[in-house]
Structure 1
Amino acid sequence: MTLRKRLYLTLEPTEKGGIIERIFEFCLVTIIILNILAIIADSVEEVRSKYDVLFIKFEYFTIIFFTVEYIARIYSIVENPEFSHPVKGRLKYITQPLAIIDLLAFLPFYFVFLDLRFLRIFRLMSLFRLFKIARYLHALKIFKRVLADRKEQLILSFLFILFVLTIISFIMFYTEHEAQPDKFSSIPATMWWGIATITTVGYGDMVPITALGKFLGGLFAIAGVGLLALPAGILSSGFFESLHKDAVVKKCPHCGKDIHE
């Protein structure tokens, strides 16, 4: 086995591997988690002032590790048949979403004149590559399939919610504008109140004070519970049908494809 092939098998969690692969995955996950914890802790003034040197050293180590890992992935990716061409294959790979996330994990560090360190948090998404357990990958496929199958219904439900939001904002603007011209100053401004009311968040920065406004606001809040249940119901029914279909259709234990009788 060539060094490039061994490197590819070590870096790719989708490939079956041994103790070396498991050790690398454990180290990568540990570094990712520690990196996120460091970002969080660095935002606390007391912790940052006390461990500033430690944070800086860990920052350098993290960037070097992610940079070397990214270069190694670009070098060894040609072992994958999908990216086998030495030039076109690598160019195709670096445009993949996960490869872009890998790049964002260390690239902002080199732009020292910009405060882009927060972009490293995207590295957390690369944990998805490390989920070798089949049920996680299967769940992602089901979610993608449900979104594709229910795309039209979801778009229609969100358009209906937007339509209702516009209507209630229009009504509430003319109801409360005279009493609170500074808060309900325009229909777009009133739409912020409508969003907070439909979602039942209720920030309290815009509150109707007239009797009619309070009555309408109560009705809109109750209606919002039913409106937001529309996309949730569409997704839940889609998941149910998809899971039921998977339970009925037999799959080959070797290739994972459907078995047609």
Structure 2
Amino acid sequence: MRKQLKTIIYEILETSDSSNFYSLADDAIITGLIVINVAAFIASTSPTLSQQHISILENIEIVSSLVFTIEYVLRLWVCTVDCRYSHPLWGRLRYALTPLSLIDLISILPFYFLLLFSNLNFVVNLIRVLRLLRLLKMSRYSESVRTMGAVLSAKKEELIATAFAVFILLIFASSIMYFVEHEAHPKAFGSIPDAMWWGVVTLTTVGYGDIYPITPLGRFLGAILAFLGIGIFALPAGIIAAGFSEEVQRRKQQKMAATLEQSANYQSVKRLAEIEVGFEQKQRAIALHIESSSDLMKMCVQTAKQKLGSDFQNEQILRDLAIHLYKEAVSKFDL
């Protein structure tokens, strides 16, 4: 009974089955609590809202944290249903160290840390910021978040190569601009780190305007770097867009393959059922034919004996005559 209960809870918590009402309800409740909790956290930073609705905001935090805690404890309890975490101690420890479980743990720790360190302002502010990490729990329930995570994982090598190229370009551009502008504009380009801020703003095409070159050569280099920034920072967007398209296409193919497999299985089962039904019907038809043929042969033998038995005592002749009568009856009446 206990194992069956664990299996049921495991299917509700760990699988997003559209045919399971309780699984859908769990996904909807947890997702709604995440959104409400983050909205309450944002509202708590407003002096007006936090003063007018302080009790509501506190109750939202308490209720959501307790629900998240219960969910986390239940996940640790039922994870042994999965063969990968079947050991009662080490299996649960391995499950607790998985990325999604760590996200679940981080999402509930701020509530309990605030109870322990409520007098330390720096710790309180840091822990309150950690509440935003509850948005990462959406990865369990949001197909879009999981898709984006899969895209970043699949394209991590290309993104790392692009980031490295941007970093190299930033170092070179900032260093050259420092040596070009340092004497003419020492306040803005006092060091390479100062020039790197200008390089970041220029490469990202933001252009705050707080630091800019004033020499002709510096402006020329700045213009070239701005054009390079447009192309280089478009690379990650193109890589992610291509990866997203590939991931969506792959998932469509998987769904199509699953649908075709289900259709093929259905057709196979249907065909087997038709074959079994046809075979049973054929068996009945053969049995009926044999029974009819036996009756006909019996009637032919009896007729031959009655008509010719007194003249022909040889059983072989009677049998041959009976077979002859049987064949004539079959051919004449299409039996």
Fold agreement, TM-score > 0.5: yes
* 1:204-240 Cα distance to aligned partner (Å, 9 max, x none): 2212223332222122111211222344445555666
Q: What is aligned with 1:259? A: none
- TM-fit CA distance, 1:249: 9.5
What is the number of equivalent residue pairs in this alignment?
A: 250
Q: What is aligned with 1:188? A: 193
Aligned-partner Cα distance in 2 for 1:65–1:245: 35
DSSP-derived class of the 2:166 partner? helix
How high is the TM-score relative to the length of structure 2? Answer: 0.66
Root-mean-square deviation (CA, aligned residues, Å) is 2.9
Q: What is aligned with 1:167? A: 172
Aligned-partner Cα distance in 1 for 2:69–2:100: 14
- TM-fit CA distance, 1:250: 11
Aligned match for 2:140, one of 106, 129, 140: 129
Distance 1:178 1:246, change over 3 A: same
- TM-fit CA distance, 1:86: 0.9
Q: What is aligned with 1:145? A: 154
Q: How does 1:97-136 map to 2 (within 5 A)?
A: 97-112=99-114, 113=117, 114-115=123-124, 116-131=127-142
Aligned-partner Cα distance in 2 for 1:10–1:35: 22
8 Å contact from structure 1 (residues 176, 209) kept in 2: yes
Unaligned residue ranges in structure 1 (runs of 5+):
257-261
- TM-fit CA distance, 1:156: 3.6
Q: Give percent identity, aligned residues only.
A: 35
- TM-fit CA distance, 1:242: 6.9
* 1:143-192 Cα distance to aligned partner (Å, 9 max, x none): 53343xxx1x5444333322222221122112221232222111122111
Distance 1:20 1:246, change over 3 A: closer
Q: What is aligned with 2:76? A: 74
Name whichever of 196-205 and 92-101 sits farther off. Answer: 196-205
8 Å contact from structure 1 (residues 146, 239) kept in 2: no
Structure that is richer in helix per residue: 2
Higher RCO (Cα < 8 Å, 6 or more apart): 1
Q: Over alpha carbons, which structure has the higher Rg?
A: 2
Distance 1:254 1:79, change over 3 A: farther
Distance 1:244 1:64, change over 3 A: closer
Unaligned residue ranges in structure 2 (runs of 5+):
118-122, 262-335
Q: What is aligned with 2:258? A: 253
8 Å contact from structure 1 (residues 175, 213) kept in 2: yes
Q: Counterpart of 2:138 in structure 1: which amino acid?
A: L
Q: What is aligned with 1:224? A: 229
DSSP-derived class of the 1:253 partner? helix
Aligned-partner Cα distance in 1 for 2:21–2:89: 31
- TM-fit CA distance, 1:93: 0.5
DSSP-derived class of the 1:180 partner? coil
Q: Counterpart of 1:144 in structure 2: which amino acid?
A: S
